[in-house]
Amino acid sequence: MMLGKNAGGLYWMFRYIERAENIARLLEAGWHIALTRSNGGNGKGANEWRSILTTAGIDAAYHEKYAEYDSASVIDFLLRDRDNNSSVLCAIEAARTNARTVRTALSGEVWEAINQCWMTLKSTLARPVTERSLYDTLSSIRHGTSVVRGALHGTMLRNDIYAFSRLGTFIERADNTARILDVKYYVLLPSAAFVGTSIDNAQWEVILRSVSAERSYHWLNGGDVSPYSIAEFLILDKRMPRSLAFCYSKIGQYLALLEQDYGQRQDSQILSDRICMRLRSASVQSIFEDGLHEFLTEFIADTSLLANHIETDFRFYR
C-alpha cells in the first residue's frame, strides 16, 4: 500500500490543478455575462461578480478585504491574491508543492508539465491582470493545466498512483459542477417570473460555458435551451466529462481499482456507490419536482463527506 503522505500528495496535486482551471473557466463565463448586462457600468454588473465569488465559495473572504464588487478587484482576487488560498496562483503553487513531495512517483513528463505551468503562470500573474489581457491569461491557465493532465494520461501506469491522481480530479470537478449549477441559477436569476424567458435561457448558457459544455450541448440538443435539458445534461449525462454522473462513474472506477490493488473495501467506496446509485435512479423530472437546490445541496455535502472518507481511509494525514 502506498504511503498515505504520497497518496495525499497525488490526490491534492490534481485537486489543485482542477481547481485552478475551474476558477479560470468560471471567471471567463462571469466576465462575459457581466459585460453583457452591465452596459459598461460596475454597479449593474456587481451581482454577476459576486455570484462568481459565491460559486467559488470565497465571497466571505473577498468581503473581508474589499467593500465593492468591481471587476478589477474580483479578477485580481481570483487570479493572484495571496490572501485567497483558492486563487489560481495559490492553487498552481500548491499543486507544484505537492508534486515535489511525490516527485519519484511521477513521470518526468508530468513533473516538467506542472513545473512549466507554475513558472509560466508565476510570471504571467506577477502583475495585475487587466480586462484587456484577461482572455489571454485565462487561455494560458487552461492550456497549462491541460498539458499536465495530458502528460498524466500519456505517460503514467494505470496503478494506484494514477488512481489517486484521478480521484483528486473528479472529486474537485464534481463539486465544482454542482456549485455552478446551484449558485449560478439561484443567484443570477433575478426573479421566478423570469423562468423560461430569454434572460433565464441566457443564464443557463453561461452555466454551459462555465463547464466548457456549450458546443457539446448544442450538438446534442440543437437550439433547445431549457433548464430541464441543461440540468439533465450536466447532472445525468454520462457522455459529458464534467457531469455529476460522469464524475462519479470515474470516482467509483478508481476506488474499485484501489480495492482490487489493496484487497480491502473502504467506507469511501460504500459511500461512492450509494451516490452513484442515487444518480442512476434519478430523473431530471424528479430532481426538479423535489427541488434542484435541495438535490444539489445534498450532493455537495455528500461529496465533501466522501472527500473526508478518502483522506481517512487512505491515511492522508500530513
The answer to whether 50 and 59 have CB atoms below 8 angstroms apart is yes
Q: Tell me, what's the pLDDT at 36?
A: 64
Q: Which three cell numbers stand for residue 253?
A: 472506477
CA distance 252 to 264: 14
Largest CA distance in the chain: 60
Torsion of CA 154, 13, 30, 236, to 10 degrees: 70
Per-residue pLDDT of the chain (318 residues; tens, 9 = 90+): 778 999 999 999 999 999 999 999 888 877 877 666 655 444 556 777 887 888 888 999 999 999 998 889 999 999 999 999 999 999 999 999 999 999 999 999 999 999 999 999 999 999 999 989 999 999 999 999 999 999 999 999 999 999 999 999 999 999 999 988 887 665 545 455 545 555 556 667 777 877 888 889 989 988 777 778 888 999 999 999 999 999 999 999 999 999 999 999 999 999 999 999 999 999 999 998 998 889 999 999 999 999 999 999 999 975
CA distance 88 to 116: 15
CA distance 285 to 68: 39
CA distance 245 to 222: 22
CA distance 200 to 194: 6
Q: Tell me, what's the pLDDT at 175?
A: 95
10 Å CB burial of residue 294 (0-12, 13-18, 19+) is: exposed
Domain coordinates of the chain in residue numbers? 12-156, 158-318
Q: Tell me, what's the pLDDT at 232?
A: 92
| Chain mean position to CA 101 | 23
Q: Which three cell numbers stand for residue 80?
A: 493572484
Q: Which residue matches cell numbers 448544442?
A: 218
Torsion of CA 241, 246, 247, 253, to 10 degrees: -120
CA distance 230 to 225: 7
Helix axes 88-101, 108-124, angle to 10 degrees: 150
CA distance 82 to 171: 24
Closest CA to 166 of 94, 102, 255: 255
Q: Tell me, what's the pLDDT at 205?
A: 73
CA distance 301 to 100: 31
Q: Tell me, what's the pLDDT at 26?
A: 86
pTM given for the model: 0.90
